[in-house]
Structure 1
Amino acid sequence: MTGKVIWHMTMSLDGFIGDRDDGVGWMFLADGGPSGLGAEVVANCGAFLCGGRLVEVMSENRPYGGSWTGPILIYTHKDPATRVAPEFTYVSGDIRDVVADGLKAAGGKDLIVTGGAVPRLALEAGLVDELALHIAPVLLGEGTRFYDSPGVSPTRLKVLTSEGMTFRLAVVR
């Protein structure tokens, strides 16, 4: 059995994943507690892939509040030999190869991609199967957009489930 590639993200009601300083502390303040979708994602997660900008956040707040443990891959264009956090696996190269490595690390379970650039690159390469999206009841006004990719063709999504302010969406191919 091969796992899926799931883009799991929390965004503000006005569409931001980072505040004006690229911080994500607001997510923890705005979180309404565990959701059924969140629990399902955690239970099916075999590996976690994010960009280098999230290393500091991951060091302080393990994915899913520490309720999940497993391989964490950090996609970077920097030399992986200059690791800043030895508990992570640093990967570089073509996003297709990086996602394939992540799926191998997931051992048949889902690979979770999160952050800004990594999920966008994976989506644009046709590698993302689903989005698991939490909308936080907060307005940031500015910051890092959830998805910002001028010039690309629209990606069609199909709502699989929705509950409150959480959505599971399939990428329509």
Structure 2
Amino acid sequence: MTGTVIWHMTMSLDGFIGDRDDSVDWMSAADGGPSRLGAEVIATCGAFLCGGKRVEAVGENRPYGGAWQGPILIYTRKDPATNPIPEFTYVSGDIRDVVAQGLEAAAGKNLVVTGGAVPRLAVEAGLVDEVVLHIIPVLLGEGVRFYDSPGVHPTKLKLLTAENLNYRFEVLK
């Protein structure tokens, strides 16, 4: 069984995943634990893949506030042997190979991709199956965009579920 590649992200109402300093402190406005959809993503996640910039923003903290345990892969352009956090696996190379490594690490469960560059590259390579998006009712005005990729062809999505500012979309290929 091969898992699904899910782009799981929280963003501000105006479309940012990080504020002007790339901080995610504003996400604390979403107190109360994960939504039903978020809990489902956590329960079905076998491995987690993000970029080094996301790790710099959240540090050594495990995804989902520690509610999930499993392999964490960090996609980097630096030498993977210089991994600053030994508990994480640093990977580099073509995004197709990196996602394949993530799916292998997920051992039949889903691979969650998150951040800015990693999901963008995975979407553009046709590797993302679903987008799960949580919207926090805050307006940041500027920062790191949820999806910023000028010049690419539009990616069409089909709404699967919508519940209290939590959305699941299928990526149409």
- Give the TM-score range, shorter chain: over 0.9
2-structure distance, mates of 1:87, 1:60: 9
Q: Deviations over 1:144-169 (max 9, x none)?
A: 00000000000000000010100000
The Cα shift of 1:25 comes to 1.1
Alignment partner, residue 8 of structure 1: 8
Contact 2:134 2:165 in 1 (8 A): yes
Provide the residue aligned with 1:62 in structure 2: 62
C-alpha distance in 1, partners of 2:150/2:53? 22
| CA deviation profile, 1:21-58 (whole Å, cap 9, x unmatched) | 01111112344532010000000000000000122344
Check the 8 A contact 1:31/1:136 in 2, yes or no. Answer: no
1:45 paired residue number: 45
> Within 5 A, what are the aligned runs for 1:158-173?
158-173=158-173
Write out per-residue CA displacement over residues 52-74 of structure 1, whole angstroms, 9 at most, x where no aligned residue: 01223443431011010000000
Unaligned runs of 5+ in 1: none
In the aligned structure 1, how far is the partner of 2:29 from the partner of 2:132? 20
Q: Which moved more, 1:50-59 or 1:94-103?
A: 50-59
Moved over 6 A (4+): none
Distance 1:50 1:155 in 2: 20
* TM-score under structure 1 length normalisation: 0.97
Q: Which runs of 5+ in 2 are unaligned?
A: none
Match of 1:119 in 2: 119
Counterpart in the other structure of 1:139: 139
Aligned residue pairs total: 173
* Alignment RMSD (CA, Å): 1.1
Percent sequence identity over aligned pairs: 76
Mapped partners of 2:139, 2:44: distance in 1 = 30
Greater displacement, 50-59 / 158-167: 50-59
| 1:49-105 superposed Cα distances (whole Å, 9 cap, x missing partner) | 000012234434310110100000000000011111101000000000000000000
Higher mean Cα deviation, 26-35 or 62-71? 26-35
TM-score (norm 2): 0.97
Answer yes or no: is the 8 Å Cα contact 2:29–2:136 preserved in 1. no
- Which moves more between the two structures, 28-37 or 146-155? 28-37
Partners of 2:32 and 2:127 in 1: CA distance: 30
- Distance of 1:69 and 1:56 partners within structure 2: 19
Distance 1:5 1:130 in 2: 7
Distance 1:164 1:96 in 2: 33
Displacement of 1:9 after TM fit? 0.1
Q: CA 1:31 to 1:134, structure 2 compared with 1: closer, same or farther past 3 Å?
A: farther
State how far apart, in whole Å, the 1-side matches of 2:22 and 2:167 are.
24
